[in-house]
Amino acid sequence: MKSSLKSIPARLRPLYRLAVKSRLNSYSPYSGHRVGAAIRTSDGSLFGGCNVENSSYGGTVCAERVAIQKAVSEGKTRVTEVLVVTDATPPWPPCGMCRQVIAEFAENAVIHTTNLKGMIETCRFEDIMPRAFTPSHLGKK
Ligand code: THU
């Protein structure tokens, strides 16, 4: 399905486009669900990711975590925005494990769940993971 940009706010289009493009690289022979993600870091950099599944199932990594790990491996540890795209309706939100990883690097993060039809829902990270366990509980940051 071709993605629709019409309903995506102009400011988010680069993030959306990157997530849609990254989704094409999804390695998902087991679930058959292609997921793309894109994140923005505090310096304005964008990083894309896709889900990378594994025959052990447990070794599967979600698109959001791939994007965050790419950013961290490039020295960018402050995530301000996360956008996820699937072909699902309603759009898929980040799973629990991804929320925990976002919590590690979130900088007042905003979460956008989207699909290829251009549906988009935006919320603050705190809304989908209130009272998160974060580095601050270990006296860090
Ligand atoms: N998946 C993601 O990549 N991100 C999410 O937020 C939800 C789930 C992937 C994991 C697995 O490859 C497939 O979607 C089905 O769960």
pLDDT in tens, 29-47: 999 999 999 999 999 999 9
Supply the mean pLDDT for the chain.
96
> What single letter denotes the amino acid at residue 65?
R
Active-site residue, 64 included? yes
Tens digits of per-residue pLDDT, 77-113? 999 999 999 999 999 999 999 999 999 999 899 999 9
Cα(31) to ligand 1 centroid in Å equals: 8
Average pLDDT of 60-86?
A: 98
Nearest to 84 by CA among 50, 107, 57: 50
Contact 101, 134 (CB under 8 A): no
Active-site hit among 53, 64, 74, 126: 64
Instruction: Output the ligand 1 site: residues, CB below 6 A.
Output: 28, 31, 33, 35, 51, 53, 60, 62-64, 84, 92, 94-95, 98
